[in-house]
Structures are given as structure tokens and as C-alpha cells.
Amino acid sequence: MNKLLTAALAASFAATGAFAESVKIGFVTTLTTPAAVIGKDMENAVNLAVEHLGGKAGDLDIEVIFGDDQFAPEAGKQATDKLVKQDDVDFVAGYIWSHVLLASRKSVLDAGKFLISANAGPSQMAGKLCDPNFFSTSWQNDQTPMALGEVLNQQGVKSLYLMAPNYAAGKDMTAGVERTFKGEIAGKDLTKWGADAQLDFSAELAKAKASGADGLFVFYPGAAGGAFIKQYDQAGLKDTLPLYSVFTVDALSLPKLQEAGFEAVLGSQTTQEWDPTLDNEANKKFVTDFKAKFGTYPSYYAAQSYDSIMLIASAVAKVGNVDDKDALRAALKAAEFNSVRGDFKFGKNNIPVQDFYLREVVADADGTWTTKVVSTVFEDHVDSFAAECSME
């Protein structure tokens, strides 16, 4: 009877995955369309994280399955559904775009899986749509432009013209800078976004110049950022309309801008929660090995993706399996991993509480264009929507 009972329990455990030998991570990003330049950087960082972990989360093998969102909410949801239903992953991570994450969230959370955003930070999911199984290794969208708004106040900028794409994150970004900037908004343009995104900004740049604003704030991620900077440079606006940006000038756009000789970008300022020059051991190893392996500086997209894998691996290693959801949730919340940002902790809504830095575009010792930290704008910043989250 004891043998029969033992055999039955073993069969039951095997059926429920108690003896799972791997942790399966689905990672949704953009792997086609021009926006794949971001997705590839994230994919590289994920693979580097797995390599640094020796392919293990504790005693479990790490298996990563990538899904392509094709820069579209419908495709992103389809990729997510496949990962959840067919591949039966334990975690779903990634997500560049806020509208893709919003379209995909229920597929993951309703299935009882853990959802880890490595970039998108829509205000809804930080506030009223917060969930115990949703975590972020990035930020809430408003925070980075809020830091830039504060920088503009410190620098005495009196008026600002705003430009961003017309979708969830673009609206969050302009709202963020308006939340802290105390000067006048001289004008705002929200331009067409998506697979046929607007890439000709000549009319908007003319309006910005004519507005008489002291500065120009822009948010144009991916290929749109390179197109914008090129046109800004060609318009000769550097001295009359200084550029302040978030998620536009980065490790992805700078090599192409340098190759093209668009020197107007040197000295421009942006804000972010991470920089390749942050002085901690995890970041030094990440940046050094990324540059050696892929030939470029990593972007913040890469840094946040790297952290997402390290967060998941730390939780699985601590719990020892992927079946005890309560223990995994607690281990994720504890965030006991070596982040490339240094100290890392979550707020009540599972959005990081973290520092934000002013960064300046510079040439490094080898002449390569990159960024450096100029100052710390916010310390231990809590996003504006945490108060709307009902979790304790």
C-alpha cells in the first residue's frame, strides 16, 4: 500500500510540475519592423543574463522563449497568448510598448502567471490596474520626464515646446514633464504612431521654432528618434531651441548619429534611472561584457531586460521551484538580486522606488558617443500613481 501511495504521489507531483527541471520565461519584444532595433538589444541582454547565470536559476535550467509583438497590440497579445497557453511559461517578461502591454496583461494575469515589464510603464498598471503578480524592472512612464521637468526648473527654462507620438506612453511622457515643469507650455504636437508612424517632423519643428520657446522636449523611441535628431540637426536649432529628451537619444541611436556626424546631439540632456557609468560591480560586468560581445554600449532597454532575468532567477533560486506561487511572489517582491542600478526595491505597486539622473551626451575616452551622469535629480522616487493602487 505504501509503495502504491508513493507511486501515486510521484505521478501527481509530476503532473503538476512539482519536479519541473526548468523555469520557462516568455519574453515579448519587437523582433520585426524598424523598431526591432530595440527588441534586438533587449534580446541580447536577456541572453547575456542567462549566460552570466550559467543557464541556471538555482538548480533549475532557464529556458527563454521569445515572442514578437510586431510593434502592434494585436500581434503582441497573440504572441503572449501562445506563450501562456501553448508554451505554458512560468513568467512572461519584456514589453517595449505601453499599448502592447495593456493589450496583453489580462492574458498573463488571468492565467495566474507572473508578468514582468522590462520597459513599458503605463500609468493604469501602476495605479488602479496594479496587480500582485505584475512587477516592473523599469519605471512608471511619467517618472523619467518628471525628472526632466525638474531639471528644466533648475536651469531656469521658462517655456517649452512638446513633441511626442500619439499613443499611451507619448501621452504619459508629456503629462510627466508638465507635472513638474513650472514654466509655460508654448505648444504641443502628438504625431501619428504605429507601423506607419510619422517620420517627417519638418512642420512640427517649424512650429516649435516659431513658438519662441526656450527649449524643445521630445519623446521619440527607436527609429523615430534617429529620424527626429537628423531633422533637428539639419534645421540648425541647437543654439536657438535646445533639445531636452527622454527615450530618444540612447545607445541605439548614438552610433548612427555619430556616423552621420550630427554633432548637435553632443551636450544634449536627458534623464533616466540607469547609465552605463553607474559605479557598481553588476553594472561594470554587464556593460563590459555587453560591449565585448555585441560591439556597442547597452541601452537602458538592455539594462532593464537584464535586470528582469536576474530578478526572476533570484526568486526561483530562493524558492527552489516554480510551483509555490505565494513564495515566488514574496521572493520577487524582496528583489534580492544584484541590479545594474545598484540598490533595488519595489514600492507598494511593484514599481521600483529608485533614483533618477540627469545624463549628458558626451564622447568617451575612445571618442565613442555615449552618456554620463551629471547629477542626481530624484532620490528614491515613488511614482505618482502608487497612491491609486489598492495593494498594501
What would you measure as the largest C-alpha separation in the chain, in angstroms? 87
Contact criterion met (CB below 8 Å) for 336 and 362: no
Per DSSP, the residues of 135-193 read EESS--TTHHHHHHHHHHHHTT--EEEEEEESSHHHHHHHHHHHHH--SEEEEEEEE--
Q: Which position has the higher pLDDT, 117 or 253? A: 117
User: With bands split at pLDDT 50, 70 and 90, how would you rate the model's confidence at 264?
Assistant: confident
Query: What residue type is assigned to position 391 of the chain?
Result: M
pLDDT at site 164: 97
Query: What residue type is assigned to position 156 of the chain?
Result: G
Query: How large is the average pLDDT for residues 365-385?
Result: 96
Kindly tell me if the per-residue pLDDT of 116 is higher than 60: yes
User: With bands split at pLDDT 50, 70 and 90, how would you rate the model's confidence at 321?
Assistant: very high
Q: What is the pLDDT of residues 214-238, one digit of tens each?
A: 999 999 998 888 899 899 989 999 8
Q: What percent of the chain has pLDDT over 70?
A: 95
Query: How large is the average pLDDT for residues 336-350?
Result: 97
pLDDT at site 19: 54
Would the CATH topology of 2-139+279-352 be identical to that of 143-272+355-387? yes
* 3-class DSSP assignment, residue 288: helix
Architecture of domain 143-272+355-387: 3-Layer(aba) Sandwich (3.40)
> Helix, strand, coil % (nearest 5) of the chain?
40, 20, 35
Mean pLDDT of the chain: 93
pLDDT at site 34: 87
Kindly tell me if the per-residue pLDDT of 6 is higher than 50: no
Name the residue ranges covered by the structural domains of the chain.
2-139+279-352, 143-272+355-387
Contact criterion met (CB below 8 Å) for 119 and 153: no
Instruction: Name 255's Cβ contacts closer than 8 Å, sequence gap at least 6.
Output: 296, 368, 369
- Alpha carbon distance 275, 304 (integer Å): 11
- Alpha carbon distance 239, 200 (integer Å): 22
For residue 255 the three cell numbers come to 552610433
- Alpha carbon distance 21, 369 (integer Å): 44
Neighbours of 14 (CB within 10 A): 11
Kindly tell me if the per-residue pLDDT of 5 is higher than 90: no
Q: What is the pLDDT of residues 82-102, one digit of tens each?
A: 999 999 999 999 999 999 999
pLDDT at site 36: 94
Q: What is the pLDDT of residues 21-69, one digit of tens each?
A: 999 999 999 999 988 999 999 999 999 999 999 999 999 999 999 999 9
Q: What is the pLDDT of residues 142-165, one digit of tens each?
A: 999 999 999 999 999 999 999 999
pLDDT at site 269: 87
Instruction: Name 320's Cβ contacts closer than 8 Å, sequence gap at least 6.
Output: 58, 59
Q: What percent of the chain has pLDDT over 90?
A: 85
The model carries a pTM of 0.90
* Residue 367 backbone class (left: φ over 0; alpha: ψ -120 to 50; beta: rest): left
Alpha helices in 238-351 (DSSP H): 254-260, 281-294, 300-319, 325-334
Cα angle 359, 362, 366 (rounded to 5 degrees) comes to: 135
Query: How large is the average pLDDT for residues 295-307?
Result: 97
pLDDT at site 7: 44
Question: Domain 2-139+279-352 sits in which CATH superfamily?
Answer: Response regulator (3.40.50.2300)
Neighbours of 345 (CB within 10 A): 12
Q: What is the pLDDT of residues 170-216, one digit of tens each?
A: 999 999 999 999 999 999 999 999 878 899 999 999 999 999 999 99
